[in-house]
Chains A and B, each alone.
Chain A
């Protein structure tokens, strides 16, 4: 499935139990922060931000849109918590940024910072999202797709 996606748009892939949101990275920098250092992730124009959340509905979609907006438009840094931090279970979304993202429900979340994987529910297992100049190519998804303004 090829998705047309403009720079000011977000695409929702609506599953039965999970939602994905896609938006272009627009070549923006993204900031990863630990307690001791900062790493800047430099992206290409066509790279994609893929945000995933367990759940469906308006509340989830607004949360995903907000996450994408904050990290792309406001350059809000992504805080990397140390292992065992009590806030880890409170985080509700996962984010992948790059030319390709694979959804996998069997990985140990958070332990694959250099891989193009994002954790998800079983429903989205195996789904692949590839960045294209027109937007995105999505393999393995047959649900509803909605594109709106970010």
Chain B
């Protein structure tokens, strides 16, 4: 059973503000194929630029 929670909260009409994603537990990755650097959450990480799964966590 997976424990990780990856839910995203947006907002709805009525005046609330959308949550600050600065507080999310993101990790930084670098794609070893195209050198793209990106922030992500979750386990099945792939490069959002070239779709390669050949990525490494850098932070």
A interface list, Cβ under 8 A from B = 27, 29-32, 34, 37-44, 47, 52-54, 78, 80-85, 88-101, 108-119
Contact = CB atoms under 8 A, between A and B. Distances in A.
- Mostly, the B contact residues are loop
Interface residues of B, number: 34
Given A91-B12, A100-B7, 16 more contacts: A29-B46, A32-B8, A39-B21, A41-B40, A42-B43, A42-B44, A54-B13, A84-B17, A88-B17, A94-B11, A97-B7, A110-B17, A113-B19, A113-B20, A113-B24, A119-B16
Interface of B: 2, 4-26, 38-46, 48
A44 B2 contact: yes
Contacts of A30: 8
Contacts of A100: 5, 7
